[in-house]
Amino acid sequence: MKKIKILNVVFNKELSKSEVPAFRGAVLNLLGDADVIFHNHSDDEKFVYDYPRIQYKVIGKKAALFCLEEGVEKIYSFFNLRNRDIIINGVKSDLVIEQIKANEHLIQAWDKYFNYSISSWLALNEINYAKYRTLDNEDEKIFFLENILRGNILSFGKGLNCMFDREVKVQITVLTKEFTSNFKGVKMHTINAEFRTNVSLPAYLGLGKGVSIGYGIVKTKRNEINQ
């Protein structure tokens, strides 16, 4: 288990999900020579395979930043900018902070379940999508996805140096929607679902692929249910 620092920042700028990569690019433009934590690329432009500490999202139809651990400290270099004018799709906007919330969250596996939803989840790469298409019924598909989601949660924990002291359990309760989205110019199978797990996860955390640009957003559903 581990207690992590979290900072949610929501701006006054209305944003669509498809504009999140442009929002990220606009923020990086303002920062110039930004710390690697803002973009997860090293000096030689290679991707840094680590769980993103700063994530760009849409929360309540507004541009938002989800920061955790080191990202909470690093984001102040953005707050210190005198000019926060960004241009997205030719439209200039001044990023004004509308809401900011700091808290801590205990990441731990419990003996009870917590209920969540996950939206725009990129669960399937090319290989496991091919396997997914061969599955005959809904139960097989859900079991397949549960294993992937469990792996996503374990990867998140590992990325934050959080070791779980009991088995991590995941149950997908509803496959709400399956659709195709455009991820970096590639059409990807995308899933909205509801699930429960014995791991306490913070709201607006990202799981799976593309979490730095608003994919796989987790939201709390209801109070925990005893196992």
The per-residue pLDDT of the chain, averaged, comes to 90
**Residue 35 has what pLDDT?**
67
pLDDT at 110 (0 to 100)? 96
Q: Is the pTM of this model over 0.85?
A: yes
Q: What is the mean pLDDT of residues 120-133?
A: 94
- Quick: pLDDT tens for 8-18: 999 999 999 99
pLDDT higher than threshold 90 for residue 226: no
What sign has the CA pseudo-torsion 160, 43, 65, 60?
negative
**115 neighbors 221 (Cβ within 8 angstroms):** yes
Q: Tell me what the mean pLDDT of segment 15-32 comes to.
A: 90
**Rama region for 164: left / alpha / beta (φ>0; ψ in -120 to 50; rest):** beta
**Residue position matching structure tokens 């651990």:** 69
Distance CA 55, CA 182 (A): 18
d(CA 178, CA 97): 33
Query: If you average pLDDT over each of 48-62, 80-94, 182-196, which comes out highest?
Result: 182-196
Domains and CATH numbers, the chain: 2-105 (3.30.70), 108-226 (3.30.70.1900)
Q: Kindly report, residue by residue over 165-198, the tens digit of the pLDDT.
A: 999 999 999 999 999 999 988 899 999 999 999 9
Q: How confident is the model at residue 34 (pLDDT cuts 50, 70, 90)?
A: low
> Which residue has better confidence, 34 or 52?
52
- Point out which residues pair with 59 in neighbouring strands: 62
Using an 8 Å Cβ cutoff, are 54 and 37 in contact? Answer: yes
pLDDT band with cut points at 50, 70 and 90 for residue 136? confident
pLDDT of residue 227: 43
Query: What torsion, rounded to 10 degrees, do the Cα atoms 173, 122, 25, 82 define?
Result: 20
Range 31-47 average pLDDT: 62
HEC secondary structure over 60-85: CCEEEEEEECHHHHHCHHHHCCCCCE
CA distance 223 to 112: 11
pLDDT cut 70: percent of the chain above it: 92
